[in-house]
Structure 1
Amino acid sequence: MHEVVFLNEERVFPKRFDECDGNTSIWYLDNGASNHMTGKRESFSNLEESIQGKVKFDDGSNVEIVGKGSITFIGKTGERRALRDIYYISSLKHNIISLGQATEMGCEVNMKEDLLMLKDPRGRLLVQVTRQSNRLYKTPMEVEYPKCLQIQETDVTWTWHARLGHVNFGVMKNMVDKEMVVGMPQVKHEKDECSTCLVGKQTRKYFPPKSKYRASHTLELVHGDLCGLISPSTPANNRYTSHRTVYTVLLKAMKIPNQLWVEAVRHSTHLINRIATKALENKTPYEGLYVKKPNIEHLRIFGCVAFVKINGPHLKKMDDRSRMVINLGTEPGSKAYKHYDPVAKKIVVSRDVIFDEKKSWDWSTLSATVDEEPGSFKLPHIDVTEEGDGDEHQDPQHHEEQNNNKEEEVVDAGEQEQVAENNDAIMKKKKL
């Protein structure tokens, strides 16, 4: 579906911007322009080409609008900042930033003597420009050019689709467009099917509310019941299966064993409270309860491989500084992440972690650790290790040895009692 827009930029004078000497990195900060505009297609980090229309300038010219999107700029410190809602006008030879549109996004514009300073909503300096002799404010700005626009957009969209528990793409886009959450980038509405979604939550086809064909006379169309009643308890018509669907998909996406379903339920609850719902208009359950928008920048794909820093007091020079674990989401009540170490059978809580969201754990290497009883792990001891707790490589067999020693002591005591009873019986026989 195409969106058609018509812009009236009668306070913009394109001929005044002809002094850039062919330098396409020059951007003009204009308080007369109502919208951000550029003629460089390659600068966009994402572009919606379905948005089209025309814009009218002061000289009476009408030029075509062929898209709208975002451009990522690189600051002097290397920090990336994205500028949204920039119109792509292919015939425009210059780059224009509308100061009016910037203030609508919460930015602050300060003009003193010959300086213009543009600050973000947090008060951090974005651009400082000196006024030119022709009373224009222009400055070179470095743009981060994507290596492949389509690949970058797709990768970001699918990554957040997995982080949010494989939520619908339309819901994701709506959350960003209506600013229902903080920390989530722009995403596309993907049309490709997600194999994990099909495995975890594929539904039956709905029956049409109205038949395409109606019989015109008696007995022309006869219906017969050959299978009996059809059970309605399917995901297609059960509105209460959404929670179960989310944690089921979380387990199947990274091939996590069902034994960790409790962690999947906990993390799915964390996600559902931060995802848009039909019960609240343009709000998440989190905002409905706490009256503030949730920040979901911390989210990582459930079940992906992570590398946790080893914080031990007796590490040698050649010892590993990191170990591979499985991400189980965030730890409630802290800013740390919760992980599971399948080798040591430990729950690890740590902030010092690096994620590999495209990799899952190879469970085939741990076939010997699975208990004989189906659907259960053989976990003789589960240790919860937090950041800074001594040696995190404590051998779990140490606890088994202690338990075995206790059992041996009990057996020895039982044997001694049995021997004492036998001696008493022998002494009684001798007296008789």
Structure 2
Amino acid sequence: MTPNLSHFQPQSTTSNGSVSLDPSQKGVLMQLLRQNQHLMQLLVRRQLMQQPMSWTMEMHYPRSSTSDHFWIFDSGCFNHMSPYPAGFITKQPSPHPTVRTADLTPKHVLFSGNYSTDLIQLPEVLHVPGLAIGLVSLTQLQEMGLLISFDFFGCAIQDPKTKQILGKGRRVGRTLEVIYLRLPLSSSHTNLAAPISTTSSFDLWHARLGHLSSARIKLLANSGVLGNVTSNEVSCLSCKLGKHHALPFELNDYTSASAFDLIHSDVWGPAPHPSMGGHRYFVIFIDDHTRFTWIYLMKHRSELPQLYINFARMIQTQFSKPIKILRADNAMEYKESSLIAFLRSQGTISQYSCPGTSPQNGRAERKHRHILDTVRTLLVSAKCPERFWGEAAFTAVYTINRHPTPVLQHKSPYEVLHGVLPTYELLKVWGCACFVQLQPHEYTKLEPRGRLCLFLGYGIEHKGYRCWDPISKRLRISRHVTFWEDVPFYDMPNSEPSITHHTPFFTDPSLSLDTPFTTPIPTPVSDSTATTSDPSPPVPTPSTPPESPAESTDPGPSTTSSSLYLDDSREALSILQDPLMEVKLWNDKREREMYDNFAELYAIIKATEKLEKAYVRDIIPSADYEAECQKLIAHFKTLSSTLKDTVPSIERFHDTYKMDCPAAMNRLITSGVPATVEHRAAAAASGVTSAATVAECVQNFITAMDSLKLNMVAVDQVFPLLSDLSGSLNKLSILPPDFEGKTKMREWIGRLAKMGAADELTEQQSRQLHFDLESSYNSFMAALPTAGS
């Protein structure tokens, strides 16, 4: 409905043709306009639709009702253009200094940049002050990979990936007025089908090239093969997670100011087979200032706390200086309660490397490598069996402490620590042949006074040399030693063979520390050989050099190193070839006593076997059996103690001589008491240790430790195992109430009870639990009564 304005008659007309209204007429007109605002907009729009449009004319366009500036979509415009300078948020030189309109009129371009207002946001817009309106290029939108849809009422701009509507336009006559249009100012939304010549983001090419590094992307971008790539640094979370690596360790040239300010320590082992003393581990202590090294062999890792306590007290006594800092790896032995208490009492600071970060304890790790390289070299050079690795380690550290080093201005650690030069004249070739003077009671007036031995190193607590006697099978320490340094002991014709029956470890650096080791089983020697062999081969004297191996060929079969109690059988063969040769069953009184003890041990085992069979068959009364059996067991214990060094294993003695006495071995070794005593003990009501309970405890200990090695660390897996172990320990009356194993198991059970069933022990908790189980197991085995007690 059109409003009636006929009563509004103008009172006058100005010179320029404008109408003049009085104040009352103006008020009425404004009221009508406000009431019919919508109708007036329709009239104006109808007038615009009837008016022809031409983009070649510089004419006035009505302003958008939602913006201060007027923008239209243009299909013939090659780039976005704006005459409005206020909306530019970035400015840069334009690649196009001038542009031409449809009628070829040139327009000057001041700059280009990103344009942003409340309703319009466009990248890469040219600022052309000569234009009357803003132009949005449809072809530029298409190059960006955007979807443009048209209908009768206007158009819509859409992101093909997210399906989001980024802008809309409405049809006004034959033009498309921009209602709103907000595009990302970066080009990361560009479609994959976009030409490579368009600008692409650094992150996009990083993802396209399989998460390539920033440096490599820059190299490709500079070569031009990637087109126009915006230079940037990549911050990719996936790369941080998938490519994370250990940070490099800085070379630490720091050296402590004085001796014992800092001590480095580390444990090595287990060795694939024990040393001669039964050791499988060793620990080193290195003074950071002097680089002097101390080494101690261990049978078990649990010996470390007491060894360090003794070492610290030695340093305090000998050098009157306390240890200020102890630096070690994260092994649980260094965190044992007794060691921690001692460190606190001494005021020593403990420093540990992070779990799985052994390079933080690099000084000790490198010293391990130096020692083991030297040990392998000594064993190979001397052709020694690998059971001598402990002695080789002692000698390696002894000589390393006397090596000059550039770190100490070409001084040796010994010189820096003690202030005097070491004595090099006493050093000898490790593994060479040497001759040790025997004690007066070991020879007669007509027998040799020296013994051919293997040189193994230098005395630790004695001022002398350590030499291995292959005849008496023991280590001799003496200062009365002469050397053949150019002759390895195992090149001597009468030396014991150096062949080992297990896979070499120290002499094969390619093997890992986890190489399995099995103790070689000795090869039995027949009784005929035992009665005819001559255990005293001719011993060369220092004045007479030995024959070369090529000249002293062996006429008979060679024996292996597994002959534990009998000497080389080559002399037995030579006796058979020369019947007139004097047969000597022993070399001195000591050897004669040793062979007598062998015979007595053999007789005790055989007699016990006969007695056991007679008792089982009721041939002998129980009282007579018990009395006789008690005597044999007592004699066996006494003799075993005497032959402890010569016969370390009764089982091997039994197997070597093929005695076939299983009942005797069970009675003498396993049981230790007569069968009648066992029967009375089994009939007792209480107060006796149950063998079944002991076996149950052992089985529970082993099961718990094996489960941790198999990474069974969930609470619902560990809790039942510890509960069973605690219950079996409580059944044994021989264990005191404050037994270490009981206390630790109660603590762990209480700790696990506070955790959820699905919770898992951390790596540190798992290692601590395994350490507690192992130490408790060792204490449990030590607390059991010995056989016969």
TM-score (norm 1): 0.36
Q: Which has the higher strand share?
A: 1
Greater helix fraction, Structure 1 or Structure 2: 2
Q: Which has the larger radius of gyration?
A: 2
TM-score for the superposition, normalised by structure 2: 0.21
Name which structure has the greater RCO, CA cutoff 8 Å, separation 6+.
1
